[in-house]
Structure 1
Amino acid sequence: MWSAPAMAAVMAAVEPAMDEADGELGSWRVLRLVAGREVGTRVRSRAFQITTALFVVAIAASVLVTSAVGGGPSVRRVAVTAADGTQAAAIGAAARSLGVDVEVRTYADATAGRQAVLDGDVDALVLAAPPAGGAAGTGGGYRVVVDSELGDSLTSVLTVAARQAALEGQISALGGDPATVGQAVATAGVAVTALRPQPERDSARLVLGLLAGGLIYISLLIFGPVVAQSVIEEKTSRVVELLLAVIRPWQLMAGKVLGIGVVALGQLVLIGAVGVGLGLATGELGIPAGVAVGSVALALLWYLVGFAMYALMFAAAGALVSRQEDAGGVTAPMIAMILIPYVLGFSVLPSSPDSGLILALAIVPLFAPILMPMVIGIGSVAVWQVLVALALTLAWIAVLVWLAGRVYGNAVKRSGTRVALRDALRAA
C-alpha cells in the first residue's frame, strides 16, 4: 500500500512534470518514481528477503552436497604379490575396458598383501592360481582374498582379467605368441555407420537448461501474481483514484511492471550467479565457463521478455476485480500458460532433447520464455529459431502494451463487481 510520504513524493514530482507538455523527461520521471516505490516496498518485504535467502541456500547446498557425495567414481585398490606382478597389466587393461577406476599395488608376498586387506589399505589381494597339474601363471584363474565382500564392479574386472590370463596361457601352451594375439584382439572392433546420426548431448548442459527453465518458471509464478495483487490492493484502498488524478494509467501500470521486474530480475541474477559460480568452482558443472555464462545470460534475457509479457497480462487481469479473493479467477489463465511449457519441457526434454514438439512450442510467444532457455541450454536449437521466437515475442508484447493499457485504463477505476473483459476493452 502507498504510504503518505510516497504519495506526497509522487504528487510533488509529477506536477512539475505535467507542465512539461508531456515531454519524455516528465514521463520518465513518473516511471522512476512509481518503479522506485515498488522496488523499495518489495526489497524491504520480509517475505521477499526470506524467499531469496532460501533460494540461494538451496542452490548452494544442492551444488555442494552433490560435489561432496558424487565427486566422481571411487577408486578400487587391488594388491598383487611381486611373484604375480605380471597380472597388474592384465587387471589394469580389464578395468579400463569396463570403465572402472582400479589402482594396483604390489606387495612383497601374500602375507603382506593379506595384512593390507585387513588394514583397509586395499580392497582385495589377487593371487594367481595354477591350473590343475600345471605351473603357476599358465591360466588357472585367480584366488582373491577380501575382508568381507568383493563388490560387483571389482568382480567383473577380475573375471575379465582372469579369462584373459587363461587365454594367454593356452596360447603359450600351443606355441603361439600371446602379445601378437592380444594386439590383434585389441585392434579388432565394430565400425558403425549411422544413417541418421544423433548429436551427442552433454548431460551437464541438459541439467543447466532444465534448471534455467525451472527457475524462470518459479519466478514468473511468484512475481506475476504479485503484479495483479498490487493492482488490486491499490484499487481496493482507492489509492489508485488519487494517483490517476495526476498521472496517466499507462504510467502507473508501466512503473509497477518495471519496479517489480527489477526486483524479480535481481533475485534471479543472484540465484544464477551463486549456482553457476559454485558449479564451475566445484567442477560439477562440467562445461566451459563461457558456455555456462552465455546460457545464463540468454536465460536472463528471456526472463526479461517473459516477465514483461506476463506482467502486462497480470496487471490487466488485476484491474478487472476489486477484491483479492477474486484474483484467482482472473489470473488462472496466465498461471496455466506458465505451467504448461514447464511441465512439457521437464517431461519431454530429458528423454528427447531434440523433440520437434518442444522446438515448435518454443517459438510460440506464450511458451518461449520458459522453453527457449531450456533448449538453448541443451544446445538443441538453431540461431534462426531463437531469433524468430524473440521477434514474435516482442511483437506480441507490443500488442499487449496496447491491449493491457486499454484494459487497465478502463477498468482500474471501476470498483465493486468484476469488470468483464469485453467491457474493459471498450472506450471509457
Structure 2
Amino acid sequence: MTSQKDQKEQKQEGMFGRGCILFLLTCSIVFYLCFGFFVYHAMFSLSDNFYIEGYMKSRNNTIFGLETFINCSDWTHSVKEKPFLQELIRHSNSIKDSINITDIKFKSRATSDIPYELEMNGRLYQLPKKSKKLILLVHGFRMRQNHYTIIIPIQMLLKAFPDGEYDFMTMEYRNHGFSQKEYPSNLLPDKSYSTYGSIEYADVLGAITYARNLGYEEIGLYGPSMGGATIMNAYLRSNSQDNIRALFLDSPACDIEFTLQSNLYRVLGYALGHSDKLYVESKRMKIGQYLLWPAVKLMGTILKGNHPHGPYPPFLNDAYHLWVKEAKSPRSSDKSVALHFDHPESDILVPKENSERCSALASSISNLKVTSYYGTVNSKAAKRTFSECKDHCILPLSEPEQYYERLVKFFKENL
C-alpha cells in the first residue's frame, strides 16, 4: 500500500506539473498577444512627427525646387549609375520655372461607409497650356507626395509631354504628411493609422472631385504599392461623373490580407534562416495565415474600438474582394477604362501574385482594357542588392528607360 507520505509527494508532484503546464500556457498566451500587438502596431499605426518630416529625407536631391524623400538608398545609387535618370533630373530642374506648382487643400469625399470629410493636402502641377486631362499620382504606405516613386513618374511624363497635354496632381492621405489626422485607437491614443486603401480611397475620390470642379474632364490615376490598391478601390467605388479613364498600377498591394500574411511568412523566414522566395502552399505560409494572422486580427478588435470601420482587418474595401464583386456583377458602362499592372517578379514586400490575381479578374470584364508587365531585377549582375527596397517599386530605378516607355505609351494611348 502507498503510504500517506508517498501520496502527499505524488499530489505535490501532480500540482507542480499542472502548475508548470499552466505557467507555460500563460506565457504562450502572453507571448501570442504581445506578438499580435507588436505586429499590428508595425503594420498599421503611424507616428505624426515621422510622417510630417518625411520618410527619410533625400541626400541633397532637390527636384522642381522641392525636396525629394526616399526610403531606399538605391535611389542614390541608381541616379549615379543611370544616365537616363541623371538627364531626367537635369531636364526637370531646367523647366521648373515654366511649371506652375501650387499647394492645394481639398476635402475627402463622404461615402456610405465613411460618412464624413477630412482636409487633405496636395499639390497641382500645371503647364502654361491649360489641359482638360489630369493625372493624379497617389503615394504608398508611410510615404509622401514628394517620394521618389511619385516624383520620378512626374518627371518622366513632363519630359514626354512638354506641350501641356496633361496636368498633374499629387496628394497625401489622411494621417500622412500634412493631411488631417485621426486617432481612433483605444490603447494607442497618440497614433494615427493606415488601412492600405480600404478607407483612404475616399481621400482619392475627394481629390477627383476637386479636379473635376477645376474643369478637368478626364482623369488618369497612377499609384505605387498601397497607392495602387487605393486607386483601384477609388475606381471601384467611383461613379460615372468621376470619369476615370486609365490606371497605371506599380506593384499594387491589391490583396491586402494576402500581402500582410506573406510578410509574416517573410518574418518567419528570417527567424528560420530561409530565403525570401514565396511558396504560397508552404508550411511557413500556412503558419502565417492560420496561426499568426488571427493574433493580428484579435488586436484589431482590441485596438480599434471606435474606428469608423470597427476592427480591421478584415478590410471592408480590399481591392481584391471588390474586384471579385465587380467581376460577378459589372457596372454598366459604354466607356472603356484601361489598367496596366507593372510588377517586379522578385518583389518581396508585395508579391507579384497581387497583380496576377487582380489583373485576371479585371480582364474578365468587357469594358476594361488590361495589360501587365512583370520585370526582372538583376541585382546580382549589378553586384549589389536592392535590400532596402526589397525589390518593391524598383523598376523605375532598375530599368528607367523601359519604364518610361511603358508609362508614356499607356497614358498616350488611353487618356
* Shared fold, TM over 0.5: no
- Greater C-alpha radius of gyration: 1
TM interval, shorter chain, is under 0.3
- TM-score, normalised by the number of residues in structure 1: 0.22
Q: Which has the higher helix share?
A: 1
- TM-score, normalised by the number of residues in structure 2: 0.23
